Amino acid sequence: MNTTTSGTIMDELTAGAISPKDIVEELIGKIDIADASFQLTLFFIAFNPIFWNIIARLEHSTHFLTQLAGNNAKRGCYILAIIIFSLGIGRDMVFQETLNHQESSVLLELPLIRNLGVASFLIGQLLVITSMYQLGITGTYLGDYFGILMNERVTGFPFNVSNNPMYHGSTLSFLGTSLYFAKPSGVAITAFVYMMYCIALRFEEPFTAAIYAKRDAGKLSKNI
């Protein structure tokens, strides 16, 4: 592909001069999987949810963080929140670093794609920020594993548009950043993010449901 201006790419695309095979080859050709920071990004993306699930379950069974925080569950949860938040910052930094030196693709440099990237990022951030606002620190950062439960299920926005606005928002932010910078490697990383969150949810959702079911069973027996 020797064209460099998005105008001509657009012409070729609409004229059908570029086949789907060309598109896939062009995009995949721009991903350097041997790049150490690309690999480090994937490592962070996988490591973070595995780490917080292990720590949270340990906390649930041993209360080690609560004890570490002077027998204060809330403070224990804040410690975990700071660790998870910092890991997220680290992950975002290596992700940005990776995008900086992976190649862009002229196919993604179209103004339309760039605008989609901006929209995706803004919607993603909106979902993340509003769900954090709804849940608070302990609700966002696995407070239920510390025995800090929400009084009732949050049903307002963004929970009326997404079951997991935090994860969906984060995925949309990765996608938006990747499209904005026209990086096929970023899109590949986004697919990995999505996959890891799906796996994390398979562990987190049943566990959280069980914690709440236990609480509600307790409430019920008190009422009887």
| Closest to 59 in 3D by CA, of 69, 48, 46 | 69
Nearer to ligand NAG by Cβ, of 14 and 160: the residue is 160
Shortest Å distance, C-beta 158 to ligand NAG: 8
Token pair for 142: 């696995």
Contact status, residue 132 vs residue 167, Cβ threshold 8 Å: no
> In the Cβ-directed half-sphere of 92, how many Cα atoms lie within 13 Å?
12
Rule CB under 6 A: which residues touch ligand NAG?
2, 156-157, 160-161
Nearer to ligand NAG by Cβ, of 27 and 126: the residue is 126
Nearer to ligand NAG by Cβ, of 151 and 155: the residue is 155
122 marked as binding residue = yes
Burial degree of 106 (CB within 10 A; 0-12, 13-18, 19+): middle
Nearer to ligand NAG by Cβ, of 16 and 156: the residue is 156
DSSP structure class, residue 69: T
Residues 6+ apart with CB under 8 A from 83: 52, 55
123 marked as binding residue = yes
Shortest Å distance, C-beta 130 to ligand NAG: 9
Shortest Å distance, C-beta 2 to ligand NAG: 4
Nearer to ligand NAG by Cβ, of 122 and 161: the residue is 161
Shortest Å distance, C-beta 3 to ligand NAG: 7
Shortest Å distance, C-beta 26 to ligand NAG: 13
Q: Is 27 helix (H, G, I), strand (E, B) or coil?
A: helix
124 marked as binding residue = yes
Cα–Cα dist 97/203, whole Å: 30
Residues 6+ apart with CB under 8 A from 15: none
Q: Which residue numbers belong to the known binding site?
A: 122-124, 204-205
Q: Which residue numbers belong to the known binding site for S-adenosyl-L-methionine?
A: 122-124, 204-205
